[in-house]
Structure 1
Amino acid sequence: MSLHPELLNLALRLLCAFAASLVIGLDRELHERAAGMRTTILVCLAACIAMMSANLLLPQAGKESGSFVQMDVMRLPLGILTGMGFIGAGAIMRRDDGFVLGVTTAATLWFVTVMGLCFGAGQFLLGGTAFLAALATLWPLKYAEHHIGKDREARLVVILSRDGPSEAEVRHTLSHPPFRIRRAFVRIASDTGRRELRYDLRYAADAGAPPPDFVASLAAREGVEQVEWEV
């Protein structure tokens, strides 16, 4: 950081922070995420301004002879990063089914904060590199994720009459790849013999994949009254 930055240099820092956070926020905005353009721009500019303020205070830092006061201007950007932890934590939610949302949003906010600190310190090369790394992470890798097979969670509910397939037959189908049974629940009506089977599964599938073929074949079997597949 320069001890005596010029006004044009400070304006360039703000412009770089604004432009970079605008592009990153646009990706979040297009996908209707919690942190859109305005949020990422404000966070990045706040970090940039904090770092510029620390830069302007550098000539005044230090301990004078006979003084018990010492100014550590670097505490200002460190405080910004600490504050971002609270904002990021507020963006993360855990649903009742255990699924966690908002982690990428929180990481994006933390990232644009660090990027803003880089631009605020006049480290244009480092900030620009961070910006390009963010673009590569948020855009190309997002599309690559759709082609990577992932373990997904699903729930299968089967209602069987007395003469329907046995629980052992259904479980045998689910005991082979790509399925893994995590939890199983069985309810049997003693008067009618009607059975309700519930399975919490993990299976390998692409995002947005249709229900497995065996769901339709199971529903077509005699004695199967109802089949529900929930992802």
Structure 2
Amino acid sequence: MDVELAQSEAVYAHYLDHQQDRVRARLMYGVLAARIRPVVRFTSRDRLVRTVRSGKPLLIAANHVSQRDPLVLAAAGFRSPIRPRIGHLRVLAKDELFEDPEQRRKIDTLGGIPVFRPKDHGVRAAAEAGRQMFGVCVERMVRGDSIAVFPEGTCNEGDVTRLQKLGTGIGHIAYRALKAGVDVSLVSAGIAYPDDGDRARPRVTFGEPVVLAGFKDETPAALTRIIQGDLQGVVDEVSRVAARA
């Protein structure tokens, strides 16, 4: 089955139940961690450890400053308390990454779920696929999986220390998950690259988990603003760390 907008219903029916090989997933994440060697920091490592051990789903939001970001986030996840979630961690990725069969196998192993972005397919054409994607994310979280999102939607080509305005997709995922009774915690991840050339090790900071149940009566737009504020705080921190590198 090809990952195409015209057959989005079949695509999302597949990814609703798709399960990557967990052993291969851990191996692949481990290889990325060894190759990329990100410097990983935490706002509150103890809180993150307790949240992961609780077994409750995570909604991981990361800024987007480079095409390397998904690999860097995977490597950082392996070097963090999030490692036990590998194999039960789904990552939203643009649909074009699923076109090449070999690359798709790798993305599938990493836990990818395709996203048909409005900027690539038009707002109207992508709207129904977006609703289907939200449904898959929520159902996966109901089953205990965690979801990682780059909610800016595209690489930041301006001031990388300031988030672009987030799309409301992540707010819709959080809103629907809360309405479905999922006790989800937000974990913001800030990514930065020191200005030391290609050999510089990327910096990743994981923020303190935020229990979203306290915001269950908020709208998707309000939840998006809450997520934007928390993620910006973590981006501020990782930017300071990268500047000192």
Give the TM-score, by structure 2 length: 0.26
Larger Rg: 1
Give the TM-score, by structure 1 length: 0.28
